[in-house]
Amino acid sequence: MFAAWGHIVYRRRWLVLLFSAVLLAVSSVALSQGGSLSGQGSIGSSESGRAVTLIREEFPPTTSNGGSSLTIVFSGRNGLRVDDPRFRDAMLAALQPLIADSRVVSVRTPYDVPPAQAAALTSRDGTRALASVSLKDELRIAEDYYPELRALVQSDTLDIAFTGNMPINRDFDRILNADLQRAEYVSLPLALVLLLFVFGALIAALLPLGVGVLAIVGGLGGVFLLSRVTDVSQYALNIVTLVGLGVAIDYSLFVTSRFREELRQGAGTEDALARSLATAGRAITFSGLTVAIGLAGMLFYQGTFLASLGLAGAIVVAIAVLYGLTFLPAMLALLGPRVDALQLPFVGRGRGGLWHRIATSVMRHPVLVLVPTVAFVLLAGSPFLHLRLANADVSALPPSAESRQGYDILVNEFPGQNQSSVTVVGYFRDGPALSAAHLPDLYQTSRRIAAIAGVLRVFGPLDVDPSFDLSQYQSLYAQQSDALPPTVQQLVKATTGEHIVVFTAMTNLTASSDEARDVVRAIRALPDPSGGELLVTGQTAFDLDTIDFVVDHTPAALAFIVLTTYVVLFLLLGSVLLPVKAVLMNLLSISASFGALVWIFEDGHLATQLGFTPQSLDPTIPVILFCIVFGLSMDYEVFLLSRMQEEWRRTRDNQHAVAEGLERSGRLVTGAAAIMLGVFSAFALADVVIIKSIGLGMAIAVAIDATIVRALIVPAAMRLLGSLNWWAPGPLARLYRRVGLAEAIAPAADPAD
């Protein structure tokens, strides 16, 4: 099938190139039109997600959405204090354009609120003040004009930092885009240099790079088209570039290398192309399929941004394979022997035989090699055993980000700002929520929440006065709403809807701390009110729900990835043991990268050198890494085993097949891994910790996979298995002969120098 396609591409190369041009044009149009990408958000089906939905349904956006407000931190220079008239005049002058803007509802400062509130808006040392700004529009709308509002507030006397949901989101978007551009600027030239070392010829080196660029354009265009029909994460662009560039260059490298090898053995251009697609083309198709299977595992996490990342990644991998089977062979058909044009002296001319010698040496003493290397990889993965998960917050931004600086000042220097809150929603389906029948249960709920260790106080309609008992609240709310004292009317309006009553439990605990999680668990253990239910939300509750969601859905995702990959590899190789070995090898590489991530990002090693704040890993990072790395590691396994299978079919000598297969593919696998390592390391330079950790984790996994695993563990394991590597029981062997995807090809060319 693939050989026949090679003949078709050769004879219709201009038509194939026209198809590629049309695909590029469509992708470019989609990319130029852009689209709306979303943040992480809550899991709608979780308890915290349900509570957020109820609050948004029953309260207007300006009440329920914290993103419709922002906080401005003003800092006096040279010790200038808040109570100095110069500070007051400078702060009010800076705020005047904002106050006059029609999109701003109110601005509160220490100078226009009661003394008790003014104290909360003034730092402990008296040199900083807060302005609390409320906007008329909800977060999604206000984000569009936030840069205009930020530009209005300037001062020559005071330092200014904006923070809050909106500034933090904008900084994430801005820095993610900068990370993406930086990674492209670094990875593309680096990939070209590495390709020159692999090929030793400029034309051959440019082909994979061109396919990489085409794949990225197609993938990004596909993401924006996808965003028109479903929510797509803002991280999707980084994942598309990260995965797309790596796999596209790798696949093109394998096909181009095989084509050059066939030409060197005397084949004509058409036959060389047919043989290349029958071998390397077949391998990249199955590699792409295994990568797509890994990425499809993220679809099991519906309701989170992971599903959109899986779709985005699968799109760019499919496009990379498509260009690798169309545009690339059409260009090779046009170039023919000129693919080796513009040779570079002293580059790409390494001596052959190294990988054959490594494989032979390993297979002489397989146990002595296998045991310590596996032990080393497992030891590298051991820090993963003390993994702690927590959703990424503002600390994922670099310390230089304005919103991060403002947030750090809030937490460290303003009284009460280091407190976190837990929101408790009492939901009554039949309503009204604050009825006489529900008051006793709501009163008891409020008191039980207040009694939980770690809770400082509770705000809600049953907390108007700490000295009130149940009977006094019953008397209070027996009145008509318009007869209530004004302060109580405001409290009821802010905390009571038709079907819900909202309590806010204040703590002085960090939202992601174990103590804060204990508070949420204790509240969730409280009995539901009669005729209703309690729902807990807030950052800590969202943390717990996300972790539970990931843990609950991971077994099904793992089973899908492993079983589907096994079936694909069986159809490719016709063996029942090699797919098992391939899966185990991948798990070794992934475990080592997971351990390294915990050691670096959670334990804080290399924090200064890499420029980040030590923190728990986001629950989505292990999922993203596993789904991507599992497929990418299978790239090398498929290519390696395909070359070994060619030799096995030709000689029926397992040791020769292993040594010769590693020799034929070892240098290419090393070159491909070096290119991927360069691409992924470029993303490790990112300022956003999530992208930095994914890039670094993938780089570590690829480095271990292409060296320790493929060069040492694989040949040792295959030597011990012997001819069992290629065995299948009779019924499965017959099934493979009927539906397997083996392809008859001409004898393989001899290894090139």
For residue range 404-458, list pLDDT tens digits in order: 999 999 888 987 676 678 999 999 988 788 888 999 999 999 999 999 999 988 9
Q: Are residues 186 and 157 in the same domain?
A: no
In a domain, 751, yes or no: no
User: Of 163, 183, 212, which marks where a domain is finished?
Assistant: 163
112 & 20 share domain? no
Are residues 361 and 233 both part of a single domain? yes
216 in the same domain as 159: no
* Range with the poorest average pLDDT among 61-70, 91-100, 516-525: 61-70
**Is residue 421 domain-resident?**
no
- Give the lowest-confidence range in 395-399, 519-523, 554-558, 638-642: 638-642
Summarize the confidence of residues 96-108 as an average pLDDT.
92
Which contiguous run of DSSP H or E holds residue 145? helix 139-152
pLDDT higher than 80, residue 170:
yes
DSSP single-letter state for residue 604: -
Do 13 and 330 contact (CB within 8 A), yes or no? Answer: yes
Whether residues 372 and 508 share a domain: the answer is: no
For residue 348, the model assigns a pLDDT of 54
The domain tally of the chain equals 3
- Amino acid 634: pLDDT: 82
| Position 753 confidence tier, pLDDT thresholds 50, 70, 90 | very low
Same domain, 466 and 557: no
The predicted pLDDT at position 195 comes to 87
Structure confidence at residue 40 as a pLDDT band (50, 70, 90): low
- pLDDT over threshold 90, residue 622: yes
Q: Are 155 and 22 in contact (CB under 8 A)?
A: no
d(C-alpha 69, C-alpha 166), whole Å: 8
349 falls in which pLDDT band (50, 70, 90)?
low
Provide the whole-model pTM.
0.86
Give pLDDT, residue 534: 96
> Which of 502, 531, 560 is the endpoint of a domain?
531
pLDDT confidence of residue 272:
93
3-state helix, strand, coil in the chain (%, to 5): 70, 10, 25
Question: Which amino acid belongs to residue 114?
Answer: P
Percent of the chain scoring above 70 in pLDDT? 95
What is the C-alpha separation between 558 and 433, in angstroms, rounded? 43
Q: What is the pLDDT of residues 534-592, one digit of tens each?
A: 999 999 999 999 999 999 999 999 999 999 999 988 888 888 999 999 999 999 999 99
Residue finishing a domain among 488, 509, 531? 531
Residue 354 sits in the same domain as residue 500: no
556 and 627 belong to one structural domain: yes
**Mean pLDDT computed over every residue of the chain:** 88
pLDDT at 162 over 80: yes
The pLDDT score that the predictor gives to residue 482 is 84
CA dist 271 → 281, 320, 335, 664 (Å):
14, 23, 14, 20
pLDDT tier for residue 351 given thresholds of 50, 70 and 90? low
- Assign residue 733 the CATH number of its domain: 1.20.1640.10
**Together in a domain, 217 and 331:** yes
In a domain, 380, yes or no: yes
Average pLDDT over residues 7-15: 93
Averaged over 648-672, what is the pLDDT? 85
| Structural domain containing residue 439 | 429-531
CATH of the domain at 145: 3.30.70.1430
Per the domain annotation, does 407 fall within a domain?
no
Q: Among candidates 712, 631, 703, 640, which has minimal Cα distance to 674?
A: 703
pLDDT at 350: 53
For 242-269, what is each residue's pLDDT tens digit?
Answer: 889 889 988 998 899 889 989 988 889 9
Instruction: Classify residue 47: in a domain, yes or no.
Output: no
Instruction: Determine, yes or no, domain membership for 697.
Output: yes
Together in a domain, 662 and 549: yes
State whether 220 and 360 are in the same domain. yes
667 & 549 share domain: yes
408 domain-assigned: no
What span, in angstroms and rounded, lies between the C-alpha atoms of 168 and 606? 25
Tens digit of pLDDT for each residue in 225-240?
A: 988 888 888 788 888 9
SS3 sequence, 4-38? HHHHHHHHCHHHHHHHHHHHHHHHHHHHHHCCCCE
638 within a domain of the structure (yes/no): yes
